[in-house]
Amino acid sequence: MVEINQTKCDLAAQIVYHPVYRISQFWTLSVSLLAVPSLLYFLIKRILLLPFHGNLKCLLATYFVCIFLYALILSFDFVSFQTGYPNFSFFFQTYHCIVPFFVTSSCSLIINETLYKYGHVTSLFLLTTPMLLPIGFSIERFVAIGMAYEYEKVRTLMGPILSFILVTPNFIVFYFIFRNETFTDSFISFLVLPNTSAVSFNNYLWYLLYAKLGNFCCNCVLLIVHKRFKTRFLLKQTSLSVRYAMEEISQSSKFTLILTFTHLIFFGAYTIGSILVRTLGEPFFGSSLNYSVARGVNCAVPTYNLLIAFIGFTSLHHLNARRQSKVLTTVKIRSRGHEGAKNYDNAIMKQWNSSPRRF
């Protein structure tokens, strides 16, 4: 490890004890600690028990597992402490919220070089992976609409394949971004980028944001296409099973749209804010200290990790209530009078005209 310059140690102390920086660190710690149990409960009690097709449930589970792991690693990043014993410093030498209360030297606020390397890359990887997975939501939903008559019989295979395909490019991009990075500078935060990799990573964030915008537009188109298909199926007087499948596709598509839109807002705020700080530079903030504090503040994505669990609970409750209402309306048919006789004749005719399908 390179020798730490005392000037950098003094700057680290000024940044860490800056009121704005401290507030942002405690906010990130608080929402991350609350997000971990909330996301875990939402994943186990809601996502895994959804009546959606297995392919979509697999994609949703992968998505929320990544968010859960990111909230978990933020919790460890912000509550770890330094033991003071060299043999254990690799595991505990972080600073974010607890260390400033116990350090005896300003140089102890700087993260161990090796720990920063792995903690930094892991944190950023878990930050960016959920940006790619919603693309799989759109692909799977378009396939579901195209195979509405028989999609419920399709095996759960596309979901795991899409999850693997969408996560793999992130590994490749991170390899090329950080393959020549030495991580020899002094850092007080796992989320602050090294200057040598910052430009490449910021460009990657822009690409992810563009992909997120494009995917959101695809979700909007998906709902329009689904509405037209649903109207066509209703005009054909399709069976209740097909109508139920179309309603399930509608509800699941709306749910993924809510997730995509919410993630787009928070990740967009993080991306634009991070790049804007670097673009404005030190002259805009008036001093190197204020500029470093601005670079270290990161509250948007940790806040999303907590809010998305509550948004998910609320949206699923609302969508389920609407779905039950529509299902009850659909299955209610008149059995008396002229309309009842017509409904009875139609049911008999469907039985006579139906024939076994060959597979």
Band of the pLDDT at 59, cuts 50, 70, 90?
A: very high
Across residues 188-200, what is the average pLDDT? 81
Q: How many domains does the chain have?
A: 1
Residue 331 included in any domain? no
CA 2 to centroid of chain Cα atoms: 36
Stated pTM of the model: 0.79
Across residues 14-37, what is the average pLDDT? 84
Residue span of the structural domain in which 174 resides: 6-310
3-state secondary structure of 334: coil
Torsions phi, psi of 182, nearest 5? -95, -20
Q: What is the residue whose two structure tokens read 């020549």?
A: 180
299 or 347: whose pLDDT is higher?
299
DSSP state of 151: G
Say which range, 168-177, 230-239, 268-277, has the weakest mean pLDDT.
230-239
User: Which of 187, 4, 1 is CA-nearest to residue 96?
Assistant: 187
Residue 341 included in any domain? no
Residue 227 included in any domain? yes
Residue 345 included in any domain? no
Which residues fall within 8 angstroms of residue 273, CB to CB, at 6 or more apart?
A: 300
Which residues fall within 8 angstroms of residue 110, CB to CB, at 6 or more apart?
A: 4, 8, 9, 12, 95, 186, 187, 188
Q: Cα–Cα distance between 38 and 66 in angstroms, integer? A: 14
Residue 348 included in any domain? no
Residue 271 included in any domain? yes
Domain of residue 177, CATH code: 1.20.1070.10
What's the pLDDT at 53? 87
Residue 332 included in any domain? no
What pLDDT, in 10s, does the model give residues 324-337? Answer: 666 565 555 555 55
What pLDDT, in 10s, does the model give residues 91-123? Answer: 333 345 666 666 667 777 777 788 888 888 988
Region for 281 from its dihedrals, namely left if φ exceeds 0, alpha if ψ lies in -120 to 50, beta otherwise: left
What's the pLDDT at 2? 47
7 or 46: whose pLDDT is higher?
46
Residue 356 included in any domain? no
